[in-house]
Amino acid sequence: MVFVEGCANPKAVSILIRGGLERSVDEAERVLKDALAVVADVYRAKYVVAGGGAAEAEIAKALRAEAIKIGGREQLVIEAFADAVESIPRTLAENAGLDPIDVLTELRAAHEKPDGTYMGVSMDSTHPVDMFKLGVIEPAIMKKQIIHGAAEAASIIVRIDDVIMSARSKTPSTPSKPSGGSESESS
């Protein structure tokens, strides 16, 4: 291996990935590419949001506030989407070994406070913490793509359900065999 270091203005960088198995090298390469893509997104977009589920908690809060204004079936759909968005902080709490119900309850309460916008789930605390103060951030463009993708997926599922329900309602019912008669049944 040759390492060239200390260049004044480097234009290219090589990263060496080593591993005992080809599978582990492939996985390390995939993870590295994902990490570099996130760094490139942050560099291009220059906007970040608080991590640790703080952005999701704030989005869920806004969705629930809108749902109350709308009412009806649409309200139930919006509230269900808000619950789905909150699966990120719930999963973070579970992975930290915390009780997800307690964490979500505290997180919702923290986001109701004026200074609670950046409160999220920390692996080092049982209570919500300001993620910007911890330095836990995520690219805003990535968060936007995730939420947009989730909404698109939900929309596709609803359309598929509508098509299936429509097809079922148009299918004529099959007539039943008359009971009795001279036909013998064979086995």
For 70-83, what is each residue's pLDDT tens digit?
A: 988 889 888 999 99
Bigger pLDDT: 131 vs 143: 131
Least confident of 29-33, 64-68, 86-90, 143-147: 143-147
Q: Which long-range contacts (CB under 8 A, 24 or more apart) does 67-73 make?
A: none
Q: H or E element: which one contains 14?
A: none
For 165-185, what is each residue's pLDDT tens digit?
A: 677 776 655 555 555 554 444
Residue 178: its pLDDT value, please? 55
Half-sphere exposure of 34 (CA within 13 A, CB side): 7
Cα gap 75→167, rounded to integer Å? 27
Topology of the domain comprising 50-139 = GROEL; domain 1 (1.10.560)
pTM over 0.85: no
Q: H or E element: which one contains 139?
A: strand 137-139
Cβ–Cβ under 8 Å, residues 71 and 42:
no
Residue 88: its pLDDT value, please? 93
End-to-end CA distance of the chain: 77
Res. 124 pLDDT band, cuts 50 70 90: confident
Bigger pLDDT: 103 vs 13: 103
Is 155 a residue whose pLDDT tops 50?
yes
Least confident of 18-22, 129-133, 164-168: 164-168
Distance (Å) of CA 141 to CA 37, 61, 75, 85: 12, 20, 27, 16
Is 16 a residue whose pLDDT tops 60?
yes
Range ranked top by mean pLDDT from 3-7, 38-42, 73-77: 73-77
Is 132 a residue whose pLDDT tops 90?
yes
Residue 177: its pLDDT value, please? 57
Bigger pLDDT: 90 vs 143: 90
Q: DSSP string covering 23-42, please? A: HHHHHHHHHHHHHHHHHHHH
Cβ–Cβ under 8 Å, residues 111 and 57:
yes
